[in-house]
């Protein structure tokens, strides 16, 4: 089973051209992803470079017709002409999506820097060997304070899911809306975290908590040991950043660690200012 996470910068490459098709072709050329987690997907924006109001959610859904699309916009605002514009995380899954959540992450006031509302798309997938939760997120870039609050929330989301798994909600007769859905302990958290390996926020996310089952673990470190994280930005002369480093990660819950089979970064493509991060899971471990 393969999963890929990629901040696509609204499908804008280092050449300045915007192409959803190029993103899709790059993904197909580098693997056969069962789950695709994209960040910076735009819908209705006509004032971002290269965009004229396209619905990129619909365009990606058309590129991957055998995948189900779950979109979690952080930004959802009104254009002057009355149309809506949204910006956020898109998860495409070939596997059945049993349930989906769209979490808005904390955004404490930090007036000294720019910022935007951030979100996390969570899906519960029906996979061989038991269910799997996949969380697709993109954290704040400018504000360390906001990024820290968002890391805390991602820790809390996993702890909350495990609490629901241990003690499911009661049902209400005659109302399917109250029907409990099993929350597995196996979870993968991926996306653009806008921090580097061993930064304070990175260490905050991985710090041991009260319940070890709810802790997050860096999939790269688990699979590759002390090998430095592959750079995920700054490789192809894009407008940003001015140097290469890693800020895109995949984190696994303790229950998922035995199923981690590999992790790699596609450093060849210049279809975005970030590089795709691929994770391989052993579905039968």
Nearest to 25 by CA among 41, 13, 16: 13
Provide block-wise average pLDDT over 10 residues at a time, the chain (285 residues). Answer: 98 98 98 98 97 98 99 97 97 98 98 97 92 98 98 98 84 75 92 98 97 97 98 92 96 98 98 98 77
Please answer whether residues 178 and 169 qualify as being in contact, where contact means their C-beta atoms are separated by less than 8 angstroms. Answer: yes
Q: Whose structure tokens read 């820097």?
A: 113
Helix (H) or strand (E) holding 57: helix 56-63
Q: Which pLDDT score, from 0 to 100, does residue 174 have?
A: 67
Which residues, in sequence order, are bridge partners of residue 73?
88
Please answer whether residues 235 and 243 qualify as being in contact, where contact means their C-beta atoms are separated by less than 8 angstroms. Answer: no
Q: Which pLDDT score, from 0 to 100, does residue 94 have?
A: 98
Distances (CA, A) of 221 to 4, 138, 248: 17, 20, 13
N residues, the chain: 285
Tokens of 182: 């099993």
Q: Which pLDDT score, from 0 to 100, does residue 23 have?
A: 99
Four-point Cα dihedral 169, 208, 35, 68, nearest 10: 30
CATH fold for the domain made of 2-166+181-281: Deoxyribonuclease I; Chain A (3.60.10)
Q: Which residues contact 101 (CB under 8 A, 6 or more apart)?
A: 121, 122, 123
CA end-to-end span of the chain, whole Å? 11
Which residues, in sequence order, are bridge partners of residue 99?
124
List the domain boundaries for the chain: 2-166+181-281
Q: How many CA atoms lie within 13 A of 74 on its CB side?
A: 21
- Structure pTM? 0.96
Q: Which pLDDT score, from 0 to 100, does residue 285 have?
A: 57
Tokens of 245: 């480093």
Q: Which pLDDT score, from 0 to 100, does residue 162 have?
A: 94
Q: Which pLDDT score, from 0 to 100, does residue 126 have?
A: 95
């Amino acid at each position: 089973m393969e999963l890929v996470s990629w901040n696509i910068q609204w499908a804008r490459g280092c050449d300045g051209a915007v192409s959803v098709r190029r993103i899709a072709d790059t993904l197909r050329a580098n693997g056969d992803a069962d789950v695709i987690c994209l960040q910076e997907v735009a819908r209705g924006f006509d004032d971002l470079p290269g965009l004229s109001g396209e619905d990129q959610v619909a365009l990606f859904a058309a590129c991957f017709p055998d995948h189900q699309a779950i979109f979690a916009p952080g930004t959802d605002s009104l254009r002057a002409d009355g149309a809506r514009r949204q910006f956020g995380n898109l998860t495409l899954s070939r596997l059945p999506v049993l349930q989906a959540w769209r979490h808005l992450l904390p955004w404490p006031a930090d007036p000294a820097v720019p910022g935007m509302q951030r979100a996390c798309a969570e899906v519960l997938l029906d996979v061989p060997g038991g269910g799997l939760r996949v969380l697709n997120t993109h954290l704040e870039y400018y504000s360390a304070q906001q990024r820290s609050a968002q890391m805390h929330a991602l820790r809390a989301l996993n702890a909350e899911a495990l609490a629901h798994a241990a003690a499911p909600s009661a049902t209400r007769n005659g109302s399917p809306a109250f029907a409990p859905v099993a929350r597995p302990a196996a979870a993968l958290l991926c996306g653009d975290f806008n921090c580097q390996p061993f930064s304070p926020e990175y260490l905050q996310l991985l710090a041991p908590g009260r319940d070890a089952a709810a802790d997050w673990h860096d999939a790269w470190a688990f699979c590759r040991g002390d090998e430095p994280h592959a750079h995920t930005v700054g490789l192809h002369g894009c407008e940003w950043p001015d140097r290469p480093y890693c800020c895109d990660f995949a984190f696994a819950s303790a229950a998922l660690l035995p199923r981690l089979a590999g992790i790699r970064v596609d450093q060849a493509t210049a279809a975005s200012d970030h590089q795709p991060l691929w994770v391989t899971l052993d579905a039968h471990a």
